[in-house]
Amino acid sequence: MLLAELTILKHIAYIVIVLSIVIAIFIIGTKFVLGTTNPVYVVSSGSMIPTLNVGDLVIIQHSNNNSSSSSSSFNNLKVGDIIVFKSYGVTRTGQHLTIVHRVAAIRMDIHSNRIIRTKGDANPISIPLVDYPIIEKNYIGKVVYVIPKLGIIPLTSDRTLIYVIIGSIIIIIILAYNFRKRRRENKREPML
């Protein structure tokens, strides 16, 4: 019995090490591939219902103007794209809000710089200083993927916690599967 417990502990340690490496590679890889230090955001309001719901996890891509051929660069955004940006205006505490809304209109200023106006799908109109003006320095990235309801778990600003929770869930699923499998195998073995 002691030998079986040691074997199980070795398997658990091996799984934890492998999953930790996989999660680290995922974090570094997504940051590199998606061109942003924080590619994951959680939808925290109902302004984009029915397209996005509270608690949905959105993955964004951002490309600098140096790579203007990328569809996620500010200069290549088009009406209908869903983007993440910092509001132009600030709250009473002096903070810019992080918003996920759809591009509603694109204009040019007198210097030929793009100015974007957005709107939440559930909002009747665009909100001044929140939805517009969006200039390049406010732009964070374009939404490229949505994972429904996964953001409900962390609802925190610490993105590392999101990855730890996802990894923990995977580990628990694997351990439960292995435990049930070994239990079934032990029931089949004849007693001496």
CA of 31: how far to CAs of 26, 36, 80, 186, in Å?
8, 5, 25, 44
**pLDDT reported for residue 83:** 95
Mean pLDDT of the chain: 79
Residues with Cβ within 8 Å of 77's Cβ and at least 6 positions away in sequence, in order, are 83, 103, 106, 114, 116, 139, 142
**pLDDT reported for residue 44:** 86
**pLDDT reported for residue 37:** 64
Instruction: For residue 132, name the pLDDT band (cuts at 50, 70, 90).
Output: very high
Q: For residue 124, give both structure tokens.
A: 């009747």
27-61 pLDDT, tens per residue? 677 666 656 667 778 888 999 999 999 988 888 88
Assess whether 86 and 168 both reside in one domain: no
Among 177, 161, 183, residue whose Cα is nearest residue 12? 177
Assess whether 53 and 144 both reside in one domain: yes
Residues 117/93/59/175 CA torsion (nearest 10 deg): -160
> Residue 58 sits in which domain range?
41-148
Assess whether 130 and 59 both reside in one domain: yes
Residues 147/149/151/155 CA torsion (nearest 10 deg): 160
Assess whether 142 and 158 both reside in one domain: no
Residue 164, in any domain of the structure: yes
Give the residue, 95 or 189, on which the prediction is more confident.
95
CB 139 within 8 A of CB 150: no
CB 135 within 8 A of CB 88: yes
pLDDT above 70: percentage of residues in the chain = 71
Assess whether 66 and 141 both reside in one domain: yes
DSSP-derived pairing of the beta strands 57-61 and 139-147: antiparallel
For residues 126-141, average pLDDT? 91
Give the residue, 47 or 70, on which the prediction is more confident.
47
Q: Name the domain count of the chain.
A: 2
Phi-psi region of 155 (alpha: psi -120 to 50; beta: other; left: phi over 0): left
Neighbours of 182 (CB within 10 A): 14
CA angle 48-88-49, nearest 5°? 5
153-175 pLDDT, tens per residue? 554 455 666 666 667 777 777 77
Assess whether 123 and 158 both reside in one domain: no
Assess whether 175 and 98 both reside in one domain: no
Among 33, 29, 58, 32, residue whose Cα is nearest residue 162? 58
Assess whether 27 and 121 both reside in one domain: no
Instruction: For residue 72, name the pLDDT band (cuts at 50, 70, 90).
Output: low
* pTM confidence score: 0.63
Q: Is residue 120 pLDDT above 80, yes or no?
A: yes
